[in-house]
């Protein structure tokens, strides 16, 4: 038990560093004024995330072992279908109790860049909260928003918009 706990702690720290850069407390901000050198800074990129794929010239993925959920326009509510998908994802996560994942919030291209980034964050958080209610430890789930920046498709039609309004799970390491 102790060894697993230690291992889990190390895994958590690795994933946390990989997933979102320096972890900071939510309520206050540390002074942060350091030079960032080089064009890499890759320590913050979760391997296999949509951003990581993008950097390496790959399109974002749709689904995976953990399935995407989709949203209505300008909404972060989980409908029945979404909850079913998340229930199945929760089952997988319970069966693979060491797996961590990053939850990505995405939007379609309508609406402005900044608002969509905030909306994507809401979507990712809504999914995380629901998984927690299903019994998955929040320590295993990090969130990030990409707004409209990493779409699956770029056509200007309803079908493409619906595909892009999604939460995607980074393949668990």
Among 71, 130, 146, 169, which residue sits at the site for another protein (rule: CB under 8 A)?
Answer: 146
Give the containing element (helix H, strand E) for 144. Answer: strand 141-147
Collapsing DSSP to helix, strand or coil, 30 comes out as: coil
Of positions 64, 67, 134, 149, contacts another protein by CB under 8 A: 149
Token look-up 């206050």 returns 28
Structure-block tokens of residue 116: 């969509």
CB 166 within 8 A of CB 85: no
- SS3 category, 167: strand
> Which pair of structure tokens corresponds to residue 8?
């889990």
Q: Which of residues 5-24 bind another protein (CB under 8 A)?
A: 18-24
28-67 mask for another protein (x: CB under 8 A)?
xx-xxxxxxx-x-xxxxxx--x-x--xx-x----------
What number of chain residues touch another protein (CB under 8 A)? 52
Residue 130: which H helix or E strand, with range?
A: helix 113-133
User: Which residue's CB is nearer to another protein, number 112 or number 159?
Assistant: 112
Task: List the x/- string, 116-145, binding to another protein by CB under 8 A.
Answer: -xxx-xx-xxx-x--------------xxx
Query: Is residue 162 a contact partner of residue 151, using CB atoms and an 8 Å limit?
Result: no
Is 103 in a helix, a strand, or coil?
A: strand
Which of 48, 64, 111, 171: binder of another protein (CB under 8 A)? 111
User: What one-character DSSP code corresponds to residue 68?
Assistant: P
94 binds another protein (CB under 8 A): no
Positions in the binding site for another protein (CB under 8 A): 18-24, 26, 28-29, 31-37, 39, 41-46, 49, 51, 54-55, 57, 74, 110-115, 117-119, 121-122, 124-126, 128, 143-146, 149-150, 156
């Amino acid at each position: 038990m102790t060894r697993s706990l230690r291992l889990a702690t190390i895994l958590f720290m690795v994933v946390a560093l990989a997933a979102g850069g320096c972890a900071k407390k939510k309520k206050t901000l540390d002074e942060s004024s350091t030079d960032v050198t080089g064009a890499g800074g890759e320590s913050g990129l979760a391997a296999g995330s949509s951003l990581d794929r993008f950097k390496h010239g790959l399109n974002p993925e749709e689904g995976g072992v953990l399935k995407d959920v989709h949203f209505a326009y300008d909404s972060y509510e989980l409908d029945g279908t979404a909850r079913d998908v998340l229930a199945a994802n929760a089952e997988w996560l319970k069966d693979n109790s060491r797996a961590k994942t990053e939850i990505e919030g995405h939007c379609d291209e309508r609406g402005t860049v900044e608002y969509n980034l905030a909306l994507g964050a809401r979507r990712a958080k809504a999914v995380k909260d629901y998984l927690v209610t299903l019994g998955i430890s929040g320590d295993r789930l990090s969130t990030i928003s990409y707004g409209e920046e990493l779409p699956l498709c770029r056509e200007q039609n309803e079908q493409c918009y619906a595909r892009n309004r999604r939460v995607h799970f980074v393949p668990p390491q």
